[in-house]
Amino acid sequence: MTAVLHSPTPAETVARSAEGLAGVDPGRVVPNPWPGATEAELRIRAIEMAAALVAEEPNYSRLAARLLATHITAEAAGEGVTSFSGSVAASHAAGLLAPTIAGFVARHAAELDALVDDQKNDLFEYFGLRTVYDRYLLRHPETRQVMETPQHFFLRVACGLAASVAEAADLYALMSTLSYLPSSPTLFNSGSRRPQLSSCFLLDSPRDELESIYDRYAQVARLSKYAGGIGISWSRVRSRGSLIRGTNGHSNGIVPWLRTFDSSVAAVNQGGRRKGAACVYLETWHADVEEFLELRDSTGDEARRTHNLHLANWVPDEFMRRVEADAAWSLFDPKEVPELTDLWGSEFDAAYTAAERAERYVKQIPARDLYGRMMRTLAQTGNGWMTFKDQANRTCNQTAKPENVVHLSNLCTEILEVTSDGETAVCNLGSINLAAHCTDAGMDWAALDRTARTAVTFLDRTIDLTYYPTPEAAETNRRWRPIGLGVMGLADVFFRLRLPFDSAEALALSTRIAERIALAAYDTSAGLAEQHGTHPSYADTRAADGVLHPDHWNAANSPEWDAVRARVARTGLRNSLMVAIAPTATIASIAGCAECIEPPVSNVYKRETLSGEFLQVNKYLIRDLVGRGLWTSGVRDAILRAEGSVQDLDLPSDVKQLYRTAWEVPQKALIDLAAARTPYIDQSQSLNLFMATPTIGKLSSMYAYAWRAGLKTTYYLRSRPATRIAQTTVSATLPTIGPDAEAVACSLENPEICEACQ
């Protein structure tokens, strides 16, 4: 007799998925069948019901994720996929994967299939797995059904980067445990027919010529098409009113060009997976800087607005010194002072003041007036990021030779690499999940070291495997071989170890984490240089002269650094740059941890993404309150009414201190944490700053403090409307304030009364 296989009922599926999840009642998420309901539709309804209960008990997120994993497995099986090797073969046949990975997997099918561990799906939170399902899993071009499971996805990415089964196993082990994740372009494209694995591209300003400007447009379009984030300088293009000698007319300045660029960026949507994105950098002395700061305004002449571009100020120290001294600042047409763009530090200062003495400027304004306008732009738009030219160049390993200059950062302000007219800087990113390396007893330092070493090895590998959309990117990346290893989940570590963000213990731990990662990165890169040779431009770096990045702060005085320094002296380095902290907005969601180095914006909030709307909760807070018998419906509702804050609730003081949101943590603490880890970050860090109700005075003080603290870059200014429970887009309205100059003067000359950093 043939046995009849029993198909589990919805109740049985939910009950099995809920096993081991404390606080979860399976009966609450069993859907009532309706006429004609399919098994898949009932699963989806159960997932929705579980996700709706997350605010009551965080483990419902795990239940929803388990149910979704079951749904994904069933969907893939509908496409005939029941194994990893079968997934790769089917995806290759559908034209999604390259012959190289298909051949590799076919040759080692049994070994690779044995690596797949579906139990690792239990590590996902619902939002993370839903993000993977909606955005990353390969889908059949016609049916749009998934052709791989989450674990197949991780192993496929690993195989796309690996040279052996053992290497694939090492990377898969990190990814499947959510201990480390490469950036989105690598996750999207590893093993694909067009494997563009790099995260970001930096383009120098076009020359002040029509052909050069349009060539830059074309380069950006090709780079953006394959999911690259764009940073581009516009400092060499002449300003408004500049004489055009060929026609005896006058230039319209940079705004019309950026308006055209804005439309181009909007039109190229990164292969249909996410919107194109670019940030334009402008030097503070450019005569069009005031119009530049208006590009994102919601009022004024729409023909002079660029709502798709992000904006960043490339600020020399001389400007900040004149702001502090309440001195005049001169604005120049770059056509008249072309030398300024390629100078920094004392050489820039000398050339700038010489141009002033020669009265080559377009006009002069009080430095504080311009600084106040910068602060107003930040307050109104979150944009106009403050990035510091001299500190970026002074400490960059690539700028040992005068001809090598950092002209800008990237879309997210964590990459600092040299560019020129023929050099497009590239960076390959990945982030360590610190939460996965932390126990109640503290950090697992040995595991952190191992993860960093594996990550550096595979980030270096991407340089050789990636598809380069332009020859300028290919040549530069292979010449310098920079990578950007970052972190995420710092807040998870602090919560687990009960360290408030502004505590001395948190500062010490954050700095130690950064140092351990840098040590592992330098040592691994030296080992790779021993095996494969140094990067071609090693002789042009500070490291070749015996200066490692921490030496700029005298922060490499230990036996561990002595050993690394000696090894580098023997072998050189495979990579010119190694550490950069990226925002990790998407991969942190996959890993189920806090983004990069930030405190959470709320303890309970709704997040809107391309995948839909998701309720997010601080699981550490809820578990803390449950353990103390304080998690009641009244407390939950009070937190929701307070938009995720616990500060006005009747809770123990240590709970309120630990679970302050990004709005409630002193911004001085975030700047101090960033400054303390800076010696060990040879690129930079995407540092968002938060202010519920920004004012010119508070911002003036805060960004001046960041500059004095030695930060290289800052990122968004987040204002309170940016993350209210009912809305998550970045927006802000500037409160009524006094005159800009007056507010700036107050904050700079009386810093003790400014609340910005307190």
Residues with a known catalytic role: 410, 412, 414
Q: What are phi and psi of 324, to 5 degrees?
A: -65, -35
Partners of residue 579 on adjacent β-strands = 485
b/e string for 367-391 if b means 16 or more Cβ within 10 A? bbbbbbbbbbbbbbbbbbbbbbbbb
Secondary structure of 150-209 as H, E, C letters:
HHHHHHHHHHHHCCCHHHHHHHHHHHHCCCEEECHHHHHHCCECCCCCCCEEEECCCCCC
Cβ–Cβ under 8 Å, residues 441 and 607: no
Q: Are 561 and 519 in contact (CB under 8 A)?
A: yes
Given a contact cutoff of 8 angstroms between Cβ atoms, the answer to whether 88 and 102 are in contact is yes
Structural contact between residues 165 and 101, judged by C-beta atoms closer than 8 angstroms: no
The Cα–Cα gap between 288 and 275 comes to 28
Residue 752: count of CB within 10 angstroms of its CB: 6
747: left (phi over 0), alpha (psi -120 to 50) or beta: alpha
DSSP letter string, 75-119: HHHHTT--SHHHHHHHHHHTT-B-HHHHHHHHHTHHHHHHH--GG
Burial 203-236, CB ≥16 within 10 A → b, else e: bbbbebeeeebeebbebbbebbbbbbbbbbbbbb
- Which tokens hold the place of 32? 């009532």
Residue ranges in 359-425 assigned as alpha helix (H): 367-381, 389-394
Residues 6+ apart with CB under 8 A from 236: 204, 205, 206, 207, 208, 334, 338, 341
**Beta strands per DSSP E along 245-305:** 249-252, 278-283
User: What end-to-end distance do the CA atoms of the chain give, in Å?
Assistant: 78
Identity (one letter) of the amino acid at 619? Answer: K
- Write out the two tokens for 435: 């939460």
Q: For residue 751, what are the contacts with CB-CB under 8 A and spacing of at least 6?
A: 701, 705
- What are the distances in angstroms from CA 644 to CA 505, 519, 594, 722? 25, 38, 15, 13
Alpha-carbon distance of 278 to 201, in angstroms, equals 10
- Helix, strand or coil, per DSSP, at residue 314: strand
Exposed/middle/buried for 403, CB within 10 Å: 0-12, 13-18, 19+?
exposed
Q: Residue 477: enclosing H or E segment and its boundaries?
A: helix 471-480
Beta strands 483-488 and 424-433, pairing class: parallel
Contact between 723 and 602 (Cβ < 8 Å): yes
**Cβ contact 177:435 at 8 Å:** no
